[in-house]
Amino acid sequence: MKALLQRVARASVSVEDVELATIGPGVLVFLGVERGDTAEIATRLANKTASLRIFPSDSKPMDRSVVDTDGSVLVVSQFTLAADVSKGNRPSFSDAEDPSDAEPLVDHYVEVLRQSVPFVATGRFGANMQVSLVNDGPVTLLLRQV
């Protein structure tokens, strides 16, 4: 499982020109589920997402978590994070989990986040989504099975 985190001033996700969700300051998460991922991995990754200190305090540039700042999280499922581009020029998605097994893991990740983050929004699993964001910093981090 991979999570690409971006600290944002704001972010939103739309499907077919209909806005599904929007957040103010917080974290935008692009979440990719790979074959072999488990609920335990999703739990650890969600807890790391909530507790990662990527927001400034008065004394340090990266000292507070999204929980500490009462920030929001927008989770967008993105199977392309499982792409293998090591051979040729066309990405291979053989490492991506089947949608029927990936969607419950995305849902589990979101539910674990909701236990500690005040506001968690999502995109629509499997949809062609348009994501808008204002990256703050910029701060972008890739988390893998932590």
> Is 78 an active-site residue?
yes
Query: One of 79, 119, 122, 130 is an active-site residue; which one?
Result: 79
Whether 55 is a known active-site residue: answer no
Q: Which of 55, 80, 115, 130 is catalytic?
A: 80
Find out whether the peptide bond into 138 is cis, omega within 30 degrees of 0: yes
Alpha helices in 70-117 (DSSP H): 99-114
Catalytic residue, chosen from 6, 30, 49, 78, is 78
CA proximity to 82, closest of 74, 67, 94: 94
The answer to whether residue 79 is catalytic is yes
Nearest to 133 by CA among 2, 1, 5: 5
Catalytic machinery residues: 78-80
